[in-house]
Structure 1
Amino acid sequence: MFSVTYAQLNGWLTAFLWPFVRMLALVSAAPVTGETAVPPQVKIGLAAFIALVVAPTLGAMPSVTAFSADGIWIVVTQVLIGAAMGFAMRVVFAAVEAAGDFIGLSMGIGFATFFDPNVGSTPVMGRFLNAVAMLAFLAFDGHLQVLVALAESFRLLPVSADLLHAPGWRTLALFGATVFQMGLLLALPVVAALVIANLALGILNRAAPQIGIFQVGFPVTMLVGLLLVQLMVPNMVPFFARLFDMGFDTMGRVASGWR
Protein backbone atom coordinates (compact mmCIF):
# COMPACT_ATOMS: atom_id res chain seq x y z
CA MET A 1 0.00 0.00 0.00
CA PHE A 2 1.26 3.46 -0.88
CA SER A 3 2.08 5.50 2.22
CA VAL A 4 3.61 8.92 2.76
CA THR A 5 5.41 9.94 5.90
CA TYR A 6 5.18 13.40 7.43
CA ALA A 7 8.83 14.07 6.60
CA GLN A 8 8.25 13.25 2.92
CA LEU A 9 5.13 15.41 2.78
CA ASN A 10 6.97 18.29 4.42
CA GLY A 11 9.85 17.92 1.95
CA TRP A 12 7.52 18.03 -1.05
CA LEU A 13 5.63 20.99 0.37
CA THR A 14 8.72 23.06 1.14
CA ALA A 15 10.28 22.25 -2.26
CA PHE A 16 7.25 23.86 -3.92
CA LEU A 17 6.03 26.44 -1.38
CA TRP A 18 9.11 28.60 -0.90
CA PRO A 19 9.98 29.00 -4.62
CA PHE A 20 6.28 29.59 -5.32
CA VAL A 21 6.11 32.43 -2.78
CA ARG A 22 9.10 34.22 -4.31
CA MET A 23 7.67 33.80 -7.81
CA LEU A 24 4.22 35.00 -6.76
CA ALA A 25 5.71 38.12 -5.17
CA LEU A 26 7.65 38.93 -8.34
CA VAL A 27 4.71 38.18 -10.65
CA SER A 28 2.52 40.48 -8.54
CA ALA A 29 5.07 43.32 -8.58
CA ALA A 30 6.53 43.04 -12.09
CA PRO A 31 5.19 44.98 -15.10
CA VAL A 32 2.47 43.41 -17.28
CA THR A 33 1.66 40.55 -14.89
CA GLY A 34 1.45 42.88 -11.90
CA GLU A 35 -1.19 45.16 -13.39
CA THR A 36 -4.45 45.36 -11.45
CA ALA A 37 -6.30 44.40 -14.63
CA VAL A 38 -4.76 40.91 -14.36
CA PRO A 39 -6.99 38.77 -12.10
CA PRO A 40 -5.39 37.36 -8.93
CA GLN A 41 -6.25 33.83 -10.11
CA VAL A 42 -4.09 34.35 -13.20
CA LYS A 43 -1.16 35.59 -11.12
CA ILE A 44 -1.41 32.63 -8.73
CA GLY A 45 -1.77 30.14 -11.59
CA LEU A 46 1.21 31.61 -13.46
CA ALA A 47 3.40 31.56 -10.35
CA ALA A 48 2.36 27.97 -9.58
CA PHE A 49 3.14 26.83 -13.13
CA ILE A 50 6.59 28.45 -13.04
CA ALA A 51 7.24 26.92 -9.63
CA LEU A 52 6.38 23.46 -10.92
CA VAL A 53 8.90 23.92 -13.73
CA VAL A 54 11.71 25.53 -11.73
CA ALA A 55 11.42 23.80 -8.33
CA PRO A 56 12.82 20.41 -9.46
CA THR A 57 15.99 22.15 -10.71
CA LEU A 58 16.75 23.78 -7.37
CA GLY A 59 19.01 22.36 -4.73
CA ALA A 60 18.09 21.01 -1.32
CA MET A 61 15.76 23.17 0.75
CA PRO A 62 16.36 24.08 4.42
CA SER A 63 15.43 21.20 6.70
CA VAL A 64 12.72 22.99 8.63
CA THR A 65 8.98 22.47 8.84
CA ALA A 66 6.97 24.61 6.45
CA PHE A 67 4.59 25.95 9.12
CA SER A 68 7.08 26.38 11.93
CA ALA A 69 8.42 29.78 13.00
CA ASP A 70 11.53 29.28 10.87
CA GLY A 71 9.44 28.16 7.92
CA ILE A 72 7.19 31.22 8.12
CA TRP A 73 10.25 33.48 8.35
CA ILE A 74 11.59 31.90 5.16
CA VAL A 75 8.25 32.68 3.49
CA VAL A 76 8.63 36.32 4.55
CA THR A 77 12.17 36.52 3.15
CA GLN A 78 11.05 35.03 -0.17
CA VAL A 79 8.23 37.57 -0.45
CA LEU A 80 10.66 40.43 0.16
CA ILE A 81 13.15 39.11 -2.39
CA GLY A 82 10.55 38.63 -5.12
CA ALA A 83 8.90 41.99 -4.44
CA ALA A 84 12.27 43.79 -4.51
CA MET A 85 13.17 42.30 -7.89
CA GLY A 86 9.76 43.16 -9.34
CA PHE A 87 9.96 46.69 -7.98
CA ALA A 88 13.25 47.20 -9.84
CA MET A 89 11.39 46.80 -13.16
CA ARG A 90 8.50 48.92 -11.92
CA VAL A 91 10.90 51.83 -11.51
CA VAL A 92 11.58 51.70 -15.27
CA PHE A 93 7.92 52.23 -16.10
CA ALA A 94 7.62 54.89 -13.41
CA ALA A 95 10.37 56.81 -15.23
CA VAL A 96 8.41 56.59 -18.48
CA GLU A 97 5.22 57.84 -16.81
CA ALA A 98 7.18 60.68 -15.19
CA ALA A 99 8.40 61.73 -18.64
CA GLY A 100 4.80 61.76 -19.86
CA ASP A 101 3.79 63.87 -16.86
CA PHE A 102 6.54 66.41 -17.61
CA ILE A 103 5.48 66.63 -21.24
CA GLY A 104 1.79 66.90 -20.39
CA LEU A 105 2.35 69.74 -17.94
CA SER A 106 4.48 71.62 -20.48
CA MET A 107 1.79 71.18 -23.14
CA GLY A 108 -0.91 72.47 -20.83
CA ILE A 109 -2.92 69.24 -20.71
CA GLY A 110 -1.99 68.34 -17.17
CA PHE A 111 -5.65 68.62 -16.20
CA ALA A 112 -6.60 65.89 -18.71
CA THR A 113 -6.23 62.74 -16.61
CA PHE A 114 -7.15 59.08 -16.64
CA PHE A 115 -7.81 57.10 -13.50
CA ASP A 116 -5.07 54.51 -13.05
CA PRO A 117 -5.94 51.93 -10.36
CA ASN A 118 -2.22 51.59 -9.57
CA VAL A 119 -1.40 55.22 -8.80
CA GLY A 120 -4.72 57.08 -8.99
CA SER A 121 -5.17 59.95 -11.43
CA THR A 122 -2.50 60.00 -14.15
CA PRO A 123 -2.12 62.60 -16.92
CA VAL A 124 -3.11 61.32 -20.34
CA MET A 125 0.37 61.73 -21.82
CA GLY A 126 1.86 59.59 -19.05
CA ARG A 127 -0.62 56.83 -19.81
CA PHE A 128 0.18 57.04 -23.52
CA LEU A 129 3.94 56.71 -23.03
CA ASN A 130 3.37 53.91 -20.52
CA ALA A 131 1.31 52.01 -23.11
CA VAL A 132 4.07 52.45 -25.70
CA ALA A 133 6.66 51.23 -23.19
CA MET A 134 4.50 48.22 -22.30
CA LEU A 135 4.21 47.21 -25.97
CA ALA A 136 7.96 47.64 -26.43
CA PHE A 137 8.56 45.55 -23.30
CA LEU A 138 6.53 42.69 -24.75
CA ALA A 139 8.14 43.08 -28.19
CA PHE A 140 11.61 42.75 -26.62
CA ASP A 141 10.47 39.61 -24.73
CA GLY A 142 10.98 41.52 -21.51
CA HIS A 143 8.48 39.34 -19.68
CA LEU A 144 10.57 36.27 -20.56
CA GLN A 145 13.76 37.98 -19.44
CA VAL A 146 12.11 38.75 -16.10
CA LEU A 147 11.41 35.03 -15.67
CA VAL A 148 15.02 34.22 -16.58
CA ALA A 149 16.23 36.71 -13.96
CA LEU A 150 13.87 35.10 -11.45
CA ALA A 151 15.25 31.62 -12.13
CA GLU A 152 18.81 32.98 -11.91
CA SER A 153 18.03 34.56 -8.54
CA PHE A 154 17.75 31.09 -6.97
CA ARG A 155 21.39 30.52 -7.87
CA LEU A 156 22.53 33.92 -6.62
CA LEU A 157 20.35 33.87 -3.51
CA PRO A 158 19.19 30.32 -2.63
CA VAL A 159 16.13 29.72 -0.52
CA SER A 160 17.10 30.26 3.11
CA ALA A 161 16.26 32.38 6.13
CA ASP A 162 18.72 35.08 5.01
CA LEU A 163 17.34 38.41 3.91
CA LEU A 164 18.63 40.44 1.00
CA HIS A 165 22.07 41.82 1.77
CA ALA A 166 22.36 45.51 2.59
CA PRO A 167 24.09 46.38 -0.73
CA GLY A 168 21.11 44.89 -2.57
CA TRP A 169 18.64 47.13 -0.74
CA ARG A 170 20.96 50.10 -1.28
CA THR A 171 21.11 49.34 -5.00
CA LEU A 172 17.32 49.27 -5.16
CA ALA A 173 17.02 52.55 -3.27
CA LEU A 174 19.58 54.31 -5.47
CA PHE A 175 17.88 52.98 -8.60
CA GLY A 176 14.83 55.02 -7.60
CA ALA A 177 16.70 58.12 -8.77
CA THR A 178 16.18 56.75 -12.29
CA VAL A 179 12.56 57.88 -12.12
CA PHE A 180 13.65 61.52 -12.25
CA GLN A 181 16.91 61.17 -14.17
CA MET A 182 15.71 59.06 -17.10
CA GLY A 183 12.22 60.56 -17.09
CA LEU A 184 13.62 64.07 -17.44
CA LEU A 185 16.08 62.89 -20.10
CA LEU A 186 13.25 61.38 -22.15
CA ALA A 187 11.05 64.46 -21.83
CA LEU A 188 13.82 67.05 -22.26
CA PRO A 189 13.55 67.56 -26.08
CA VAL A 190 9.82 68.22 -25.95
CA VAL A 191 9.99 70.31 -22.78
CA ALA A 192 12.84 72.46 -24.18
CA ALA A 193 10.98 73.04 -27.44
CA LEU A 194 7.80 73.98 -25.58
CA VAL A 195 9.74 76.43 -23.40
CA ILE A 196 11.03 78.10 -26.57
CA ALA A 197 7.48 78.18 -27.98
CA ASN A 198 6.16 79.78 -24.79
CA LEU A 199 8.95 82.37 -24.86
CA ALA A 200 8.06 83.20 -28.47
CA LEU A 201 4.39 83.57 -27.53
CA GLY A 202 5.36 85.83 -24.64
CA ILE A 203 7.40 88.08 -26.93
CA LEU A 204 4.52 88.12 -29.41
CA ASN A 205 2.13 89.13 -26.64
CA ARG A 206 4.32 92.08 -25.71
CA ALA A 207 4.72 93.13 -29.35
CA ALA A 208 1.05 92.77 -30.30
CA PRO A 209 -1.24 92.58 -27.24
CA GLN A 210 -4.36 92.76 -29.39
CA ILE A 211 -3.77 89.23 -30.73
CA GLY A 212 -5.14 87.66 -27.55
CA ILE A 213 -2.35 85.32 -26.68
CA PHE A 214 -4.37 83.43 -24.07
CA GLN A 215 -6.76 82.21 -26.77
CA VAL A 216 -3.98 81.38 -29.23
CA GLY A 217 -1.28 80.08 -26.87
CA PHE A 218 -3.03 76.95 -25.61
CA PRO A 219 -3.80 75.46 -29.07
CA VAL A 220 -0.31 76.37 -30.30
CA THR A 221 1.53 74.70 -27.39
CA MET A 222 -0.67 71.62 -27.63
CA LEU A 223 -0.13 71.32 -31.39
CA VAL A 224 3.62 71.81 -31.05
CA GLY A 225 3.76 69.26 -28.25
CA LEU A 226 1.81 66.63 -30.18
CA LEU A 227 3.96 67.11 -33.27
CA LEU A 228 7.15 66.76 -31.22
CA VAL A 229 5.88 63.62 -29.49
CA GLN A 230 5.01 62.15 -32.90
CA LEU A 231 8.55 62.86 -34.10
CA MET A 232 10.00 61.41 -30.93
CA VAL A 233 8.10 58.10 -31.00
CA PRO A 234 10.50 56.30 -33.45
CA ASN A 235 13.44 57.18 -31.19
CA MET A 236 11.65 56.04 -28.03
CA VAL A 237 12.10 52.33 -28.69
CA PRO A 238 15.94 52.33 -28.44
CA PHE A 239 15.63 54.48 -25.32
CA PHE A 240 13.16 52.02 -23.81
CA ALA A 241 15.51 49.15 -24.66
CA ARG A 242 18.25 50.91 -22.69
CA LEU A 243 15.87 51.39 -19.75
CA PHE A 244 14.87 47.72 -19.81
CA ASP A 245 18.52 46.65 -19.82
CA MET A 246 19.11 48.86 -16.78
CA GLY A 247 16.14 47.25 -15.05
CA PHE A 248 17.32 43.69 -15.75
CA ASP A 249 20.83 44.56 -14.58
CA THR A 250 19.43 46.06 -11.38
CA MET A 251 17.35 42.94 -10.74
CA GLY A 252 20.52 40.84 -10.90
CA ARG A 253 22.47 43.20 -8.66
CA VAL A 254 19.64 43.32 -6.12
CA ALA A 255 19.50 39.52 -5.95
CA SER A 256 23.26 39.12 -5.71
CA GLY A 257 23.77 41.99 -3.28
CA TRP A 258 26.18 43.89 -5.54
CA ARG A 259 26.54 47.64 -5.30
Structure 2
Amino acid sequence: MATLLLEANDIVRWAVSLAWPLVRISALLLVAPVFGARQINTRVRLGLALLLTWMIAPQLPEPPLIDPLSAHGLVVAAEQALIGIAMGFVLTLVFSAINQAGEAIALSMGLGFASAVDPVGGVQVPMISQYLSILATLIFLAMNGHLVLLELLLKSFETFPISLDGPEPEDFWYIAGFGAQMFAGAVLIALPAIAALLLVNLAMGVVTRAAPQLNIFAVGFPITIVAGFLIIIWTLPSLTARIGDFLFSALPLIERIGRL
Protein backbone atom coordinates (compact mmCIF):
# COMPACT_ATOMS: atom_id res chain seq x y z
CA MET A 1 0.00 0.00 0.00
CA ALA A 2 2.86 2.36 0.85
CA THR A 3 4.46 1.58 -2.49
CA LEU A 4 1.24 2.38 -4.34
CA LEU A 5 0.84 5.65 -2.37
CA LEU A 6 4.41 6.64 -3.21
CA GLU A 7 3.82 5.94 -6.87
CA ALA A 8 0.63 8.01 -6.81
CA ASN A 9 2.48 10.96 -5.23
CA ASP A 10 5.22 10.63 -7.82
CA ILE A 11 2.66 10.73 -10.60
CA VAL A 12 1.02 13.83 -9.14
CA ARG A 13 4.40 15.53 -8.69
CA TRP A 14 5.37 14.73 -12.29
CA ALA A 15 2.02 15.98 -13.58
CA VAL A 16 2.15 19.32 -11.75
CA SER A 17 5.81 19.85 -12.73
CA LEU A 18 4.64 19.90 -16.36
CA ALA A 19 1.05 21.15 -16.15
CA TRP A 20 1.54 24.51 -14.40
CA PRO A 21 4.58 25.66 -16.43
CA LEU A 22 2.65 24.63 -19.54
CA VAL A 23 -0.26 26.85 -18.50
CA ARG A 24 1.96 29.93 -18.06
CA ILE A 25 3.88 29.35 -21.28
CA SER A 26 0.74 28.60 -23.32
CA ALA A 27 -1.00 31.72 -22.00
CA LEU A 28 1.91 33.94 -23.07
CA LEU A 29 2.18 32.33 -26.51
CA LEU A 30 -1.55 32.77 -26.99
CA VAL A 31 -1.56 36.51 -26.24
CA ALA A 32 1.90 37.79 -27.29
CA PRO A 33 1.95 39.40 -30.78
CA VAL A 34 4.40 37.41 -32.96
CA PHE A 35 3.64 34.05 -31.33
CA GLY A 36 -0.12 34.65 -31.08
CA ALA A 37 -0.63 35.73 -34.70
CA ARG A 38 -3.59 34.15 -36.45
CA GLN A 39 -1.32 32.86 -39.21
CA ILE A 40 0.42 30.54 -36.73
CA ASN A 41 -1.38 27.24 -36.48
CA THR A 42 -2.74 26.27 -33.07
CA ARG A 43 -0.92 22.95 -33.23
CA VAL A 44 2.38 24.72 -33.89
CA ARG A 45 1.81 27.04 -30.93
CA LEU A 46 0.87 24.13 -28.67
CA GLY A 47 3.85 22.11 -29.86
CA LEU A 48 6.18 25.03 -29.08
CA ALA A 49 4.64 25.35 -25.61
CA LEU A 50 5.10 21.63 -24.96
CA LEU A 51 8.69 21.76 -26.19
CA LEU A 52 9.57 24.72 -23.96
CA THR A 53 7.88 23.08 -20.99
CA TRP A 54 9.70 19.80 -21.54
CA MET A 55 13.05 21.62 -21.80
CA ILE A 56 12.75 23.81 -18.70
CA ALA A 57 10.71 21.58 -16.36
CA PRO A 58 13.78 19.73 -14.97
CA GLN A 59 15.47 23.06 -14.15
CA LEU A 60 12.54 24.60 -12.25
CA PRO A 61 12.15 24.63 -8.47
CA GLU A 62 10.02 21.81 -7.17
CA PRO A 63 6.36 22.94 -7.25
CA PRO A 64 4.03 22.37 -4.31
CA LEU A 65 2.45 18.92 -4.22
CA ILE A 66 -1.15 19.90 -4.97
CA ASP A 67 -3.66 17.90 -6.96
CA PRO A 68 -4.17 19.79 -10.27
CA LEU A 69 -7.87 18.88 -10.23
CA SER A 70 -8.48 20.18 -6.70
CA ALA A 71 -9.69 23.68 -5.82
CA HIS A 72 -6.18 24.79 -4.84
CA GLY A 73 -4.79 23.31 -8.03
CA LEU A 74 -7.28 25.24 -10.16
CA VAL A 75 -6.37 28.46 -8.32
CA VAL A 76 -2.66 27.90 -9.02
CA ALA A 77 -3.43 27.16 -12.68
CA ALA A 78 -5.49 30.35 -12.95
CA GLU A 79 -2.62 32.35 -11.41
CA GLN A 80 -0.14 30.90 -13.91
CA ALA A 81 -2.46 31.72 -16.80
CA LEU A 82 -2.91 35.26 -15.47
CA ILE A 83 0.85 35.81 -15.26
CA GLY A 84 1.39 34.54 -18.80
CA ILE A 85 -1.46 36.63 -20.18
CA ALA A 86 -0.17 39.75 -18.40
CA MET A 87 3.34 39.29 -19.82
CA GLY A 88 2.02 38.86 -23.34
CA PHE A 89 -0.53 41.65 -22.97
CA VAL A 90 2.20 44.20 -22.27
CA LEU A 91 3.73 43.54 -25.69
CA THR A 92 0.27 43.60 -27.26
CA LEU A 93 -0.20 47.12 -25.88
CA VAL A 94 2.89 48.24 -27.77
CA PHE A 95 1.62 46.90 -31.10
CA SER A 96 -1.84 48.35 -30.45
CA ALA A 97 -0.31 51.78 -29.78
CA ILE A 98 1.67 51.54 -33.02
CA ASN A 99 -1.55 50.70 -34.87
CA GLN A 100 -3.18 53.76 -33.32
CA ALA A 101 -0.29 55.92 -34.54
CA GLY A 102 -0.73 54.54 -38.06
CA GLU A 103 -4.47 55.16 -37.92
CA ALA A 104 -3.91 58.80 -36.92
CA ILE A 105 -1.48 59.26 -39.84
CA ALA A 106 -3.87 57.55 -42.27
CA LEU A 107 -6.77 59.78 -41.23
CA SER A 108 -4.62 62.88 -41.75
CA MET A 109 -3.64 61.63 -45.20
CA GLY A 110 -7.21 60.80 -46.20
CA LEU A 111 -6.50 57.05 -46.30
CA GLY A 112 -8.72 56.11 -43.41
CA PHE A 113 -11.05 54.25 -45.79
CA ALA A 114 -8.21 52.05 -47.16
CA SER A 115 -8.09 49.20 -44.64
CA ALA A 116 -6.83 45.64 -44.58
CA VAL A 117 -6.60 42.79 -42.09
CA ASP A 118 -3.77 43.21 -39.62
CA PRO A 119 -1.67 39.99 -39.65
CA VAL A 120 -0.80 40.45 -35.97
CA GLY A 121 -4.17 41.30 -34.44
CA GLY A 122 -6.47 39.89 -37.11
CA VAL A 123 -8.66 43.04 -37.24
CA GLN A 124 -9.34 45.65 -39.91
CA VAL A 125 -6.82 48.50 -39.72
CA PRO A 126 -5.82 51.26 -42.17
CA MET A 127 -3.01 50.49 -44.59
CA ILE A 128 -0.59 52.80 -42.78
CA SER A 129 -1.29 50.95 -39.52
CA GLN A 130 -0.63 47.65 -41.25
CA TYR A 131 2.64 49.02 -42.65
CA LEU A 132 3.78 50.18 -39.20
CA SER A 133 2.69 46.89 -37.64
CA ILE A 134 4.69 44.84 -40.15
CA LEU A 135 7.65 47.20 -39.71
CA ALA A 136 7.45 46.80 -35.92
CA THR A 137 7.27 43.00 -36.26
CA LEU A 138 10.35 42.92 -38.50
CA ILE A 139 12.26 45.20 -36.11
CA PHE A 140 11.21 43.04 -33.18
CA LEU A 141 12.42 39.87 -34.88
CA ALA A 142 15.61 41.47 -36.22
CA MET A 143 16.57 42.60 -32.71
CA ASN A 144 15.86 39.09 -31.33
CA GLY A 145 12.97 40.40 -29.27
CA HIS A 146 11.22 37.03 -29.48
CA LEU A 147 14.25 35.34 -27.89
CA VAL A 148 14.44 37.98 -25.18
CA LEU A 149 10.73 37.49 -24.47
CA LEU A 150 11.19 33.73 -24.10
CA GLU A 151 14.21 34.31 -21.87
CA LEU A 152 12.19 36.59 -19.60
CA LEU A 153 9.43 33.98 -19.51
CA LEU A 154 11.83 31.26 -18.43
CA LYS A 155 13.47 33.51 -15.82
CA SER A 156 10.05 34.31 -14.39
CA PHE A 157 9.86 30.76 -13.04
CA GLU A 158 12.94 31.50 -10.94
CA THR A 159 11.96 34.97 -9.76
CA PHE A 160 8.29 34.06 -9.28
CA PRO A 161 8.08 30.28 -8.71
CA ILE A 162 4.86 28.33 -8.86
CA SER A 163 3.11 28.57 -5.49
CA LEU A 164 -0.18 29.45 -3.85
CA ASP A 165 1.01 33.03 -3.30
CA GLY A 166 -0.17 34.72 -6.47
CA PRO A 167 0.23 38.36 -7.53
CA GLU A 168 -1.86 40.99 -5.80
CA PRO A 169 -4.54 42.86 -7.81
CA GLU A 170 -2.84 46.21 -7.27
CA ASP A 171 0.31 44.88 -8.92
CA PHE A 172 -1.44 44.95 -12.28
CA TRP A 173 -1.90 48.72 -12.05
CA TYR A 174 1.61 48.88 -13.48
CA ILE A 175 0.18 47.54 -16.73
CA ALA A 176 -2.52 50.22 -16.80
CA GLY A 177 0.09 52.93 -16.27
CA PHE A 178 2.26 51.42 -18.99
CA GLY A 179 -0.69 51.49 -21.39
CA ALA A 180 -1.06 55.22 -20.83
CA GLN A 181 2.65 55.70 -21.57
CA MET A 182 2.41 53.62 -24.73
CA PHE A 183 -0.44 55.59 -26.23
CA ALA A 184 1.31 58.84 -25.33
CA GLY A 185 4.33 57.49 -27.19
CA ALA A 186 2.08 56.61 -30.15
CA VAL A 187 1.10 60.28 -30.36
CA LEU A 188 4.80 61.18 -30.53
CA ILE A 189 5.30 58.68 -33.38
CA ALA A 190 2.42 60.15 -35.39
CA LEU A 191 3.03 63.79 -34.44
CA PRO A 192 5.61 64.71 -37.16
CA ALA A 193 3.39 63.39 -39.95
CA ILE A 194 0.23 64.90 -38.48
CA ALA A 195 1.86 68.32 -38.05
CA ALA A 196 3.28 68.30 -41.59
CA LEU A 197 -0.03 67.21 -43.10
CA LEU A 198 -1.80 69.92 -41.12
CA LEU A 199 0.42 72.47 -42.82
CA VAL A 200 -0.38 70.89 -46.21
CA ASN A 201 -4.10 71.13 -45.49
CA LEU A 202 -3.72 74.76 -44.41
CA ALA A 203 -1.85 75.51 -47.63
CA MET A 204 -4.60 73.85 -49.66
CA GLY A 205 -7.16 75.94 -47.79
CA VAL A 206 -5.28 79.12 -48.68
CA VAL A 207 -5.06 78.03 -52.34
CA THR A 208 -8.77 77.27 -52.42
CA ARG A 209 -9.53 80.65 -50.91
CA ALA A 210 -7.38 82.40 -53.49
CA ALA A 211 -8.76 80.37 -56.41
CA PRO A 212 -12.36 79.33 -55.65
CA GLN A 213 -12.74 77.71 -59.05
CA LEU A 214 -10.15 75.11 -58.07
CA ASN A 215 -11.77 71.77 -57.20
CA ILE A 216 -10.28 70.99 -53.80
CA PHE A 217 -11.59 67.41 -53.85
CA ALA A 218 -9.92 66.64 -57.18
CA VAL A 219 -6.60 68.27 -56.27
CA GLY A 220 -6.41 68.21 -52.47
CA PHE A 221 -6.69 64.45 -51.86
CA PRO A 222 -3.90 63.40 -54.26
CA ILE A 223 -1.60 66.12 -52.91
CA THR A 224 -2.32 65.12 -49.31
CA ILE A 225 -1.74 61.42 -50.00
CA VAL A 226 1.50 62.03 -51.90
CA ALA A 227 2.70 64.43 -49.19
CA GLY A 228 1.89 61.84 -46.53
CA PHE A 229 3.94 59.16 -48.24
CA LEU A 230 6.85 61.56 -48.76
CA ILE A 231 6.75 62.49 -45.07
CA ILE A 232 6.75 58.81 -44.03
CA ILE A 233 9.74 58.11 -46.30
CA TRP A 234 11.55 61.18 -45.00
CA THR A 235 11.00 60.25 -41.34
CA LEU A 236 11.65 56.51 -41.86
CA PRO A 237 15.17 56.43 -40.27
CA SER A 238 13.99 58.09 -37.07
CA LEU A 239 10.72 56.15 -37.19
CA THR A 240 12.42 52.74 -37.11
CA ALA A 241 14.65 53.81 -34.21
CA ARG A 242 11.65 55.14 -32.28
CA ILE A 243 9.64 51.95 -32.89
CA GLY A 244 12.62 49.85 -31.72
CA ASP A 245 12.89 51.85 -28.50
CA PHE A 246 9.12 51.65 -28.20
CA LEU A 247 9.13 47.85 -28.38
CA PHE A 248 11.99 47.25 -25.97
CA SER A 249 10.57 49.67 -23.42
CA ALA A 250 8.05 46.91 -22.68
CA LEU A 251 10.68 44.33 -21.71
CA PRO A 252 11.50 45.81 -18.26
CA LEU A 253 7.81 45.73 -17.35
CA ILE A 254 7.50 42.12 -18.58
CA GLU A 255 10.47 41.23 -16.37
CA ARG A 256 8.85 43.03 -13.46
CA ILE A 257 5.61 41.11 -13.93
CA GLY A 258 7.64 37.91 -13.63
CA ARG A 259 8.86 39.14 -10.23
CA LEU A 260 5.48 40.16 -8.80
Task: Report the TM range for the smaller structure's normalisation.
Answer: over 0.9
Match of 1:191 in 2: 194
% same residue = 37
Pick one of 64, 69, 72 that aligns with 1:70: 72
| Cα distance change, pair 245–115 in 1 and its aligned pair in 2 (3 A) | closer
- Secondary structure at the aligned position of 1:210 is classed as coil
1:124 corresponds to 2:127? yes
1:146 corresponds to 2:149? yes
- 1:24/1:44 contact within 8 Å kept: yes
Match of 2:175 in 1: 172
Pick one of 4, 16, 19 that aligns with 2:18: 16
1:157-211 Cα deviation digits (max 9, x unpaired): 1111232234430101111113421111101100000000000100111111112
Matches within 5 A, 1:3-42: 5-42=7-44
Matches within 5 A, 1:80-99: 80-99=82-101
Matches within 5 A, 1:240-255: 240-255=243-258
1:65-106 Cα deviation digits (max 9, x unpaired): 122111111111100000000000111111111110010000
Distance 1:209 1:87 in 2: 51
- 1:164/1:255 contact within 8 Å kept: no
Distance 2:72 2:42 in 1: 27
Shift of 1:119: 5.4
When normalised by structure 2's length, the TM-score is 0.94
1:52 corresponds to 2:54? yes
Distance 1:103 1:11 in 2: 54
Distance 2:174 2:226 in 1: 40
Q: What letter matches 2:165 in structure 1?
A: D
When normalised by structure 1's length, the TM-score is 0.94
Q: What letter matches 2:95 in structure 1?
A: F
Q: What letter matches 1:70 in structure 2?
A: H
RMSD: 1.5
The farther-off stretch of 100-109 and 207-216 is 207-216
- Secondary structure at the aligned position of 1:59 is classed as coil
Distance 1:180 1:217 in 2: 30
Shift of 1:250: 1.1
Unaligned regions of 5+ residues in structure 1, if any?
Answer: none
- Secondary structure at the aligned position of 1:163 is classed as coil
Aligned residue-pair number: 255
